[in-house]
Amino acid sequence: MLDREGVTPLYIQLMNLLEDNIRKGNLVPGERLLTEVEMAREYDVSIVTVRNAIGELIDKGLVERQQGKGTFVTKPKLTKDIRKLQSFTEMCFRMGVRPGGKMLENKLVISNEKIAKQLRIERNDHVVYISRVRYADGDPVVIEKNYFPLEYAFLLGEKFDNNSLFEFIKDKNKTEVAISEKRIEICRATAEEAEILNIRKGDSLLYIKSVAYTRDNEPIYAGTQIINGERFSLYVYEATGV
């Protein structure tokens, strides 16, 4: 219970208690918390104390208020450290989340000027186009669309659902992503993207444009990721030069 003689404010103690229950799985994603009145009575504190504790949990992304329904435990966000090169599969395993996927398309297409420039090929050259939706614990969270130079034609006909595309490339072609440049923007979900990601049309999404290279600076792919920002956060570390 709460320590009324301690130096830690009661709302912080209550926040820590609720957070601990969430982390341990005693409160599971989708579960509704007690109302502010019920919680104030349960822990013998004021409604203001409860409100402040819940506000802190909302700021941490652990709970969310739903108008007219109450406060609910949220699903934990996936955190991608964009300082490091790691596949979606690797990221999920690191976070204790079950990765999955469904391939949408795998075919030859004609490159446009932008893709050709990124892959250092001629405009209208054929490229291998692979698009997939990626899942975390069964929830769709990312739509990937990648273009590969024709030397990666060995990818055609392969199925990339729950397996790692980039592990396959590494095993098959002894090629490994060593360098990646990214541009991050915000976009709005189209009707098609909303249907795939199980969200509403017009919802905000993270939009990442990237080009990956070998250690010899040869392009491997150019592509995009459309990410459900409700389930994803990106981590960046910066420091001043020395």
Q: Say how far apart CA 152 and CA 161 lie, in whole Å.
A: 18
- Topology of 78-235 in CATH? Chorismate lyase (3.40.1410)
Cβ atoms within 10 Å of 129's Cβ, excluding its own: 21
The residue with greater pLDDT, 90 or 176, is 176
For the segment 2-58, what is each residue's pLDDT rounded down to a tens digit? 888 888 999 999 999 998 898 788 998 889 999 999 999 999 999 999 999 999 998
First to last CA, the chain: 48
**CATH fit for domain 10-73, picks 1.20.120.1200, 3.10.129.10, 1.10.10.10, 3.40.50.2300:** 1.10.10.10
Q: Give the domain ranges of the chain.
A: 10-73, 78-235
For the segment 189-222, what is each residue's pLDDT rounded down to a tens digit? 999 999 999 999 999 899 999 999 999 999 999 9
pLDDT band, very low/low/confident/very high, at 187 (cuts 50, 70, 90): very high
What's the full length of the chain, in residues?
242
Mean pLDDT of the chain: 88
The answer to whether residue 108 scores a pLDDT higher than 90 is yes
Q: What angle do CA 12, 236, 242 make, to 5 degrees?
A: 110
